[in-house]
Amino acid sequence: MCGIVGYIGTQTATEILLSGLEKLEYRGYDSAGIATIWEGDVNCVRAKGKLHNLRSKLEQVETHAQIGIGHTRWATHGKPEEYNAHPHMDAAMRVAVVVNGIIENYSELREELKQKGYQFRSDTDVEVIPHLIADFFKHSPASVPFSPSLFLEAVRDTVKKLRGAFAIALISADYPDELIVVRQQAPIVIGFGQGEFFCASDTPAIISYTRAVLPLDNGEIARLTPLGVEVYNFAGERLKKQPRLLNLNPMMVEKQGFKHFMLKEIYEQPGVVRACLDAYFNADWNVSDSTNSPVKLGLSADIYSDLEQIQIVACGTSWHAAIVGKYLLEQLAGIPTQVHYASEFRYAPTPLTPNTLTIGVTQSGETADTLAALAMEKERRQGKEPKYQARLLGITNRPESTLGQMIFHIINTLAGIEIGVAATKTFVAQLMAFYALALDLAYLRQSISPTRLQEIINGLRQIPGEIEATLEKQEHYIEQLAHEFAETKDFIFLGRGINYPIALEGALKLKEISYIHAEGYPAGEMKHGPIALLDAKVPVVAIATPGSVYEKVISNAQEAKARDSRLIGVTPVNDGEAAEIFNDLIPVSKVDELLSPILTVIPLQLLAYHIAARRGLDVDQPRNLAKSVTVE
Ligand code: F6R
């Protein structure tokens, strides 16, 4: 998964490409490169590592090119070295190509091309593309009847030979007024400016220049010239398409005074919860209202009727949100729910069950494993008797994504674009989606009383203020605390019940941005093995919220204390046993146990953030990671 950007117009392309790549760096930052057409040649500059390396190299290159393509890479095939960086070119250096995605049949194509005498300069799957294009030109007539451009034909002929999921942008020195863009199962949007056109893997890359965009669909090729945009299908037929206006403001993709996007996004969480409350819940509903539903997700009966089971597929942080979701769906709506890692479910699906809702949770809507698991579920239920047919629901922050195009029923998590690679505000928004879904089902199935329903909704309405209070009162304390752990090697996070996934999430946040080894455990499991890890060098963070498991967590924390671990409590209780056993106590407000995960996760996000920042690490772009994982 990588980021690609392209420009054709009247301005100097280099700066526009670089600023676009800056906004796409969250997708990968192993190397970067751009290619422009200047004075009849393709000018290609590439650099290993982050974008600033490319920027320094480009300072020595003077070009006023008005067309170009750029790429920021997350390595899949081939090491993160300059020779593997995109753009890739043909032997004559006339065609330059950038790709996001994977060419699955590249080894056979590579062999065929080698047999024909083409030499390869990289280890990537992508390099077959410029050679295939060169090969087309070698054997092609001077023009193809009814086609506006031979370059377009060369690309069309080439993509028909490729298998995989990809988005491609290409330029050719022999066709200096054409930028060709292809989509096959990897996202790409076209941007429409005044006498200039753009393409990008994601809208933040072009939002400073235009809000009019056209996301390409699978199997489409766009030809961008200074005069306009034409869209074709792979069969070569011209398609009628309309751009639409984006509801995204360029400020959303700036840090706005925060040191890192991650911190800004942590602070945006009260607003995100408010947006979800407004969108998901009926403000006028009260306990005596028997005609309206308290929840307004707009999901139709074909999702809900005769529902017997729910299965959720997700990865990473979204998987953690799904485990909180399972708890809510089972405890509130009484529906047996299973949560699967999408990457496991794909290859070991559960036996088909009737009347089953399958939910895919993915903030990006582009995670390959989650999309493939959902596609597999859809396919294996096709043609079955009605009760076995697929019912799919997506929970995503990007309804315009591949998930959004693939699934009809979507809950939009309304967190706004998230730039920091570590998910924070999108996680909290996913939790909100699960509260709404579980309460909607509970209302319809009458599995909880209207009074309890009202109590939970009232509690949810308090959450934004409580998050604000936690941020305001605790951030400084957590920052000080974090300084003491900057050199710590291992961490354990404990939680039980609905806060067990929050322990997992706290550990994941710490691992991914601080590179400190951390494990999350259900507190009661410690004694079955992991307790052997504990000593004075291994701090234990315990989430202890009043409710069904409070005393149990306190006892488990005592067991850790007895092994000399330093104990950090995330708890609203600051007296009694809690005050005695916790070496450090991070208070959170006391709320209904069911709602506590939205609050307990906040200090854990801050702890991970401040430890990573103290260690001087690149919080927003941690090593080896990328924001959306569009490969298997
Ligand atoms: C963690 C993180 C990843 C993602 C995972 C799934 O902070 O960001 O673990 O949660 O890659 O991504 P989505 O939700 O886009 O499917």
Ligand 1 centre to CA of 358 (Å) is 19
Written as six digits, the tokens of 47 are: 């650099």
- Give the pLDDT confidence score for residue 27 in this predicted structure: 82
**Does 121 score more than 70 pLDDT?**
yes
- Give the pLDDT confidence score for residue 60 in this predicted structure: 82
- Give the pLDDT confidence score for residue 148 in this predicted structure: 79
Give residue 247's pLDDT band: very low, low, confident or very high (50, 70, 90). Answer: confident
Which mutation among 318, 345, 609, 625 tests ligand 1's pocket best, with the greatest number of atoms within 8 A of CB?
318
**Is 220 within 8 Å of 258 (Cβ atoms)?**
no
Q: What is the pLDDT of residues 347-378, one digit of tens each?
A: 999 999 999 999 999 999 989 899 999 999 99
Structural domains of the chain sorted by starting position, each given as residue range(s) with its CATH number in brackets: 3-245 (3.60.20.10), 261-448 (3.40.50.10490), 464-632 (3.40.50.10490)
Residue 509 catalytic?
A: no
Q: What is the pLDDT of residues 61-72, one digit of tens each?
A: 878 899 999 999
**Is 521 within 8 Å of 506 (Cβ atoms)?**
no
Q: What is the mean pLDDT of residues 584-607?
A: 96
Ligand 1 centre to CA of 75 (Å) is 17
Distance of CA 201 to the CA centre of its chain: 13
**pTM for the model:** 0.83
Q: Worst-scoring range by mean pLDDT, 94-103, 320-329, 439-448, 570-579?
A: 570-579
- Give the pLDDT confidence score for residue 77 in this predicted structure: 74
- Give the pLDDT confidence score for residue 143 in this predicted structure: 67
> Which atom of ligand 1 is nearest the CA belonging to 628?
15
Q: What is the pLDDT of residues 183-226, one digit of tens each?
A: 998 889 999 999 999 999 999 899 999 999 999 999 999 999 99
CB atoms within 10 A of CB 118: 18
**Does 272 score more than 70 pLDDT?**
yes
Q: What is the mean pLDDT of residues 122-147?
A: 87
- Give the pLDDT confidence score for residue 165 in this predicted structure: 86
CB atoms within 10 A of CB 445: 14
**Does 631 score more than 70 pLDDT?**
no
> Which atom of ligand 1 is nearest the CA belonging to 367?
16
Ligand 1 centre to CA of 627 (Å) is 7
3-state DSSP assignment of residue 326: helix
Q: What is the mean pLDDT of residues 256-264?
A: 93
Q: Which of 2, 44, 199, 315 is catalytic?
A: 2
Q: What is the DSSP string of 566-613?
A: -EEEEES--SHHHHHH-SEEEE-----GGGHHHHHHHHHHHHHHHHHH
**Does 141 score more than 80 pLDDT?**
no
Give residue 603's pLDDT band: very low, low, confident or very high (50, 70, 90). Answer: very high
Average pLDDT of the chain? 93
Q: What is the pLDDT of residues 409-424, one digit of tens each?
A: 999 999 998 999 999 9
